[in-house]
């Protein structure tokens, strides 16, 4: 098999189409030529003006800061329940009662899950929540996948994201008055097998 390494300048120009600059210290210097090896000239670079060094915002690979979350429950089974109610700690009385029924229907106690009101942490991403809670199951009532910086998912269905099961549903007080939504959600809850 022939070597795929080439030193042909014309062939290399097809792949390397941008200008090349040498950077020394904090100033960018232009160069008349770039040498790949001691005896080989690859490309002439026209004289360019010296540009100041610009500092960039935080690096892309730098992790997002995790807020300090205030939640109810002990999260012993790594189950996260998100609600979204700016007026109440969890929801109004009807919404809280519905949540009690949902939790009881899947045999969970307050020790098993963490209950977080997303309204207090608007803008928090799924990645930040996962970094803090390490959830294996997430119920999101009134929190959309888009708010968590995720792709869109259907409501009241079990979806899988990076090995985590998620169920997105409408806000608890809205769900209480939606018999069709509750029926679909109940079907999904039965499939969980908790």
Name the band, by pLDDT with cuts 50, 70 and 90, for residue 114: very high
DSSP letter (8 states) at residue 103: H
Residue 17: pLDDT above 80?
A: no
Task: Please state the length of the chain.
Answer: 194
Angle at the Cα of 142 from the Cα atoms of 193 and 79, rounded to 5 degrees: 35
Q: Which residues contact 131 (CB under 8 A, 6 or more apart)?
A: 63, 64, 66
- Structural fold of domain 79-192: Uracil-DNA Glycosylase, subunit E (3.40.470)
Please state, as a whole number, how many other Cβ atoms lie within 10 Å of the Cβ of residue 103: 19
DSSP 86: S
> Above 70 in pLDDT, residue 117?
yes
Share of the chain above pLDDT 90, in %: 38
Confidence at 19, pLDDT banded by 50, 70, 90: low
Please state the separation of Cα 55 from the chain's center in Å.
26
User: How many CA atoms lie within 13 Å of 91's alpha carbon, on the beta-carbon side?
Assistant: 23
Of the candidates 116, 121, 130, the one whose C-alpha atom is nearest the C-alpha of residue 162 is: 130
Task: For CATH 3.40.470.10, list the domain ranges present in the chain.
Answer: 79-192
Mean pLDDT value across the chain? 78
Edge to edge, what strands does the sheet with 158-161 contain? 113-117, 79-83, 137-141, 164-169, 158-161
Q: What is the DSSP string of 78-96?
A: -EEEEE--SSSSS--HHHH
N- to C-terminal Cα separation, the chain: 57
Q: Is the pLDDT of residue 142 over 60?
A: yes
| pLDDT tens per residue, range 83-108 | 998 888 888 888 899 999 999 988 98
């Amino acid at each position: 098999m022939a070597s795929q390494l080439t030193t042909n300048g014309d062939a290399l120009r097809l792949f390397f189409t941008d200008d090349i600059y040498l950077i020394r210290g904090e100033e960018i210097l232009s160069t008349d030529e770039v040498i790949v090896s001691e005896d080989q000239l690859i490309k002439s670079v026209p004289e360019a003006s010296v540009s100041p060094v610009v500092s960039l915002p935080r690096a892309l690979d730098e992790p997002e800061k995790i807020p300090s979350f205030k939640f109810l429950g002990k999260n012993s089974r790594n189950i996260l329940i998100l609600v979204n109610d700016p007026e109440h700690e969890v929801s109004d009385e009807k919404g809280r009662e519905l949540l009690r029924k949902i939790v009881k229907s899947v045999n969970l106690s307050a020790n098993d899950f963490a209950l977080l009101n997303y309204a207090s942490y608007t803008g928090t991403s799924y990645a930040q929540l996962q970094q803090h809670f390490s959830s294996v199951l997430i119920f999101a009532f009134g929190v959309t996948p888009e708010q968590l910086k995720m792709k869109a998912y259907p409501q009241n269905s079990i979806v899988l994201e990076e090995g985590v099961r998620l169920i997105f549903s409408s806000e608890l007080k809205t769900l209480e008055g939606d018999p069709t939504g509750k029926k679909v959600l109940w079907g999904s809850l039965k499939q969980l097998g908790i």
